[in-house]
């Protein structure tokens, strides 16, 4: 198969030779490779200015990320056989770590499958085709998933901003069977129902699972505040682990309706209260009321969606962590997280520590990140996005 060639400018291959998978639009030699000759999703051989093959990928001339390297073999063909090998490798990794089929089965660049995300909920799959190149392979992807795990239903969750940036239509479509309105997800001591079609992202935040589970043993006999609770996995898990009182806060009425239903389903309705509202406002009101908790969890959405928003986002992260610290009992624990890829771990750690200090002294107990079903591409910091810190916030001896 003779592929068209995407030529790079001089020296622009260095990052790619180190393993990165993205070619940006300003890195291409458009004199040798006029972008008008490519259609969105076209496969191409990516070549250095010295004529050295970098690998095979796909191109979208309308996107800031012009091309994504999929295979370093210049003879690779991105077809069904190629997909079967890669997706099989991704599935094997999950089966090593998880004894139940509930996980992110494919994590895009982390699994060397740029533009493809697959979440597995038992025999139901939620699939995102995030790029024009992966959209071109839609049927091949569906065929391989059907062959490997034989799902009864597949939902294509195509309502993400990433597709919009690629010039792709936004839609949620049924690709196979009849996906249920809700799926059940077992996690730790609990089992939770969540919506696939209308829930946030692909329906569940598998990436935070190890951080949620890690805090549960520390909740026995404690009052727990779960902010940005979504459907209540941490808060209800805390109640099942012996917490004496749990408050779940979220701005989404649908999420909180799931919290209430999930608490009833798990037999802890009497311990769990759901509160709707903006996190900052709710935290401020509770501080005025003198409410105190032994364990607080903050799991906000990404405040930094674009690099230029970083400065504003730093203020938002600082404020919500400072407000949360005012609600902690002396020696209380704060589990705080950021899923913003543009905020580096050291920045977030410093910011959180500053927000928690003042007339208190703070200890960092544990660092966390995304689970093994969200493998990190070591040459792509973009895939290492989730940061989680467990702090102990102590009363000052001078207070």
The answer, yes or no, to whether residue 360 has pLDDT greater than 90, is no
Do 236 and 377 have their domain in common?
yes
Of 20, 51, 71, the position where a domain reaches its end is 71
The mean per-residue pLDDT over the stretch 139-152 comes to 98
**What is the maximal distance between C-alpha atoms in the chain?**
74
Given this model, what pLDDT does residue 395 score? 77
CATH number at residue 187: 3.40.50.150
Specify whether 265 is located in the same domain as 351: yes
pTM > 0.75: yes or no: yes
Question: Domain limits at 93?
Answer: 80-180
Whichever domain contains 11, its CATH number is: 2.30.130.10
Segment 110-136, tens digit of pLDDT: 999 999 999 999 999 999 999 999 999
Do 208 and 295 reside in the same domain of the chain? yes
Query: Of these residues, 70, 219, 248, 339, which one is catalytic?
Result: 339
Of the candidates 219, 166, 213, 157, the residue with the CA atom closest to the CA atom of residue 189: 213
C-alpha 220/C-alpha 222 separation (Å) is 5
Structure tokens at 46: 């990516």
State whether 287 and 376 are in the same domain. Answer: yes
From 17, 44, 71, the end of a domain falls on: 71
Q: Which pLDDT value is given to residue 305?
A: 63
Of 71, 97, 121, which residue is a domain's last? 71
pLDDT (tens digit per residue) in 305-331: 666 777 777 888 999 999 999 999 999
Q: Are residues 12 and 102 in the same domain?
A: no
Active site residue 248: no
In tens, the pLDDT along 1-59 reads: 689 999 999 999 999 999 999 999 999 999 999 999 999 999 999 999 999 999 999 99
Q: Which residue has the tokens 């580096």?
A: 344
Residues 109 and 64 in one domain: no
In whole angstroms, how large is the CA radius of gyration of the chain? 23
Q: Can you say whether the dihedral through the CA atoms of 267, 269, 273, 274 is positive or negative?
A: positive
pLDDT, averaged across the chain: 94
381 and 258 in a common domain: yes
Let me know whether 13 and 154 are in one domain. Answer: no
| Ramachandran angles phi, psi of 59, nearest 5° | -120, 145
Considering the domain architecture, whether residues 268 and 388 belong to the same structural domain is answered as yes
Task: Report the pLDDT value the prediction gives residue 1, as an integer from 0 to 100.
Answer: 64
> What pLDDT score was predicted for residue 399?
40
Chain segment 195-254, per-residue pLDDT in tens:
998 877 778 999 999 999 999 999 999 999 999 999 999 999 999 999 999 999 999 999
Q: Note whether 176 and 259 are same-domain residues.
A: no
Judgement on whether residues 67 and 115 belong to the same structural domain of the protein = no
Q: Are residues 234 and 377 in the same domain?
A: yes
Instruction: Kindly give the pairing relationship between strand 42-47 and strand 5-7.
Output: parallel
pLDDT band at 304 (very low <50, low <70, confident <90, very high): low
Residue 297 belongs to what H/E stretch? strand 293-298
Instruction: Give Cα separations from 253 to 162, 250, 301, 322 (angstroms).
Output: 25, 8, 16, 25
Structural domains in the chain (count)? 3
The alpha carbon of 136 is separated from its chain's Cα centroid by a whole number of angstroms, namely 24
CB atoms within 10 A of CB 386: 24
pLDDT > 90? residue 359: no
């Amino acid at each position: 198969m003779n592929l068209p060639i995407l030529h790079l400018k001089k020296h622009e291959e260095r990052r790619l030779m180190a393993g990165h998978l993205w070619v940006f639009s300003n890195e291409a030699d458009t004199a040798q490779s006029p972008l008008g000759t490519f259609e969105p999703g076209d496969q191409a051989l990516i070549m250095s200015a010295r004529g050295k093959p970098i690998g095979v990928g796909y191109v979208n001339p309308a996107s800031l990320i012009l091309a994504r390297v999929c295979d370093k073999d210049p003879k690779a063909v991105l077809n069904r056989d190629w997909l079967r090998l890669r997706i099989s490798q991704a599935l094997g990794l999950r089966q090593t770590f998880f004894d139940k089929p509930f996980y992110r089965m494919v994590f895009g660049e982390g699994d060397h499958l740029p533009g493809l995300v697959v979440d597995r909920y038992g025999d139901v799959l939620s699939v995102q085709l995030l790029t024009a190149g992966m959209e071109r392979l839609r049927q091949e992807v569906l065929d391989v998933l059907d062959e490997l795990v034989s799902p009864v239903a597949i939902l294509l969750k195509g309502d993400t901003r990433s597709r919009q940036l690629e010039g792709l239509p936004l839609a949620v479509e049924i690709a196979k069977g009849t996906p249920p309105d809700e799926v059940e997800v077992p996690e730790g001591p609990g089992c939770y129902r969540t919506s696939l079609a209308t829930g946030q992202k692909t329906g569940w935040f598998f990436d935070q699972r190890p951080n949620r589970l890690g805090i549960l043993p520390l909740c026995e006999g404690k009052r727990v505040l779960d902010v940005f609770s979504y459907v209540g996995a941490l808060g209800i898990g805390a109640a099942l682990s012996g917490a004496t009182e749990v408050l779940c806060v979220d701005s989404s009425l649908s999420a909180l309706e799931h919290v209430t239903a999930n608490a009833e389903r798990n037999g802890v309705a009497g311990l769990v209260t759901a509160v709707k509202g903006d996190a900052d406002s709710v935290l401020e009101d509770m501080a005025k009321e003198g409410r105190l908790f032994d364990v607080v969890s903050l799991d906000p959405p990404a405040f930094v969606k674009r690099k230029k928003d970083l400065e504003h986002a730093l203020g938002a992260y600082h404020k919500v962590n400072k407000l949360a610290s005012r609600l902690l009992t002396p020696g209380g624990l704060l589990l705080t997280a950021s899923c913003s890829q543009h905020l580096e771990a050291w920045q977030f750690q410093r910011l959180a520590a500053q927000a928690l200090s003042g007339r208190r002294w703070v200890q960092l107990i544990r660092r966390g990140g995304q689970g093994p079903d969200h493998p990190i591409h070591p040459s792509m910091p973009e895939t290492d996005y989730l940061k989680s810190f467990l702090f102990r916030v102590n009363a000052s001896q001078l207070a």
